Copies of this chain bind each other. A is one copy, B any other.
Amino acid sequence: MERIGIGEVSRRTGLGVHTIRLYEDEGFFLGAIERDGLGRRTYDPDDVDWLEKVALLREADMPVARIAEYARLARAGASDAERLAVLVGHRQRLADDLELTRRRLALMDEKIDRYRAHLEQGGSGPPWREVVRARASAPGP
């Protein structure tokens, strides 16, 4: 087993060294990361494989705490169902996000359509221009 340094892990995974250390603090790894005689972290290729897996979960926007939980279950030898549930739980969150974004998009489309309709109907400006004018012509005390 070759043992590699954090810089090499960074190069292989594309993660910054600060981030890798952070992930360790958050409990992402399956076991404790060993140190060499100088106190430097040393990783083996399995660590890197695992790290790439959890980094992929991050790319899927799984929250750090969720990933930590996932790793904790793996460490503790929890049932398959429990681990799977974490993945499925996040999938659900993404599905909800998708729906939320859809609604927001619909909202913007509605606003934009109204705006355009207003302009085409000969509106010389948005519905607020009058308000701005009123303020301009009647400045406060």
Residues on A facing B (Cβ under 8 Å): 30-32, 34, 46, 50, 53, 56-57, 59-61, 74-75, 77, 80, 83-84, 87-88, 90-91, 94-95, 97-98, 101-102, 104-105, 107-109, 111-112, 115-116, 119, 125-126, 128-129, 131-132, 134-135, 140-141
Cα A99 to Cα B1 with chains together (Å)? 41
Q: How close is A129's CB to chain B, nearest CB, in angstroms?
A: 7
Q: A91-B108, A105-B98, A107-B60 are in contact. Are A131 and B83 (CB under 8 A)?
A: no
CB-based contact B112/A84 at 8 Å:
yes
Query: Which chain B positions have C-beta within 8 A of A105?
Result: 91, 94-95, 98
